[in-house]
Structure 1
Amino acid sequence: MHKIIAGLGAVAAVLCGCSSADTSSAEEAAQRFEAAVADGGGPACALLAPRARDGLGPVGCGTGSPVATLPHAPVGSIVVWGDEAQARSTSDTLFLHDFPDGWRVTGAGCRPRNQQVYDCAVGGR
Structure 2
Amino acid sequence: MQKVIGVVAAALVSVAACGAADAPDAQVTAQGFVTAAATGAAVEACALLAPRARDALGPAGCSPVLPEVPHAPVVSASVWGDEAQARSAADTLFLHEFPDGWRITGAGCHLRNEQVYDCAIGGR
Question: TM-score, structure 1 length as denominator?
Answer: 0.80
Matches for 1:3-14 after TM superposition, within 5 Å: none
Does structure 1 residue 91 correspond to structure 2 residue 90? yes
Q: Secondary structure at the match of 1:78?
A: strand
Counterpart of 2:40, as a letter, is: G
Provide the aligned C-alpha RMSD in A.
Answer: 2.0
Q: Counterpart of 2:99?
A: 100
- For the pair shown, the structure with the greater C-alpha radius of gyration is 2
Q: Which structure has the highest helix share of the two?
A: 2
> 8 Å contact 1:45–1:67 — kept in the other structure?
no
Q: Secondary structure at the match of 1:91?
A: coil
Mind listing any 5+ residue stretches in structure 1 that lack a counterpart? 1-13
Distance between the aligned counterparts of 1:70 and 1:30, measured in 2?
A: 11
Mind listing any 5+ residue stretches in structure 2 that lack a counterpart? 1-12
Q: Which structure has the highest strand share of the two?
A: 1
Identity percentage of aligned residues: 64
Q: 1:113 to 1:21 in 2, by over 3 A?
A: same
Question: TM-score, structure 2 length as denominator?
Answer: 0.81
- Larger relative contact order, structure 1 or 2 (CA cutoff 8 Å, min sep 6): 1
Q: 1:116 to 1:15 in 2, by over 3 A?
A: farther
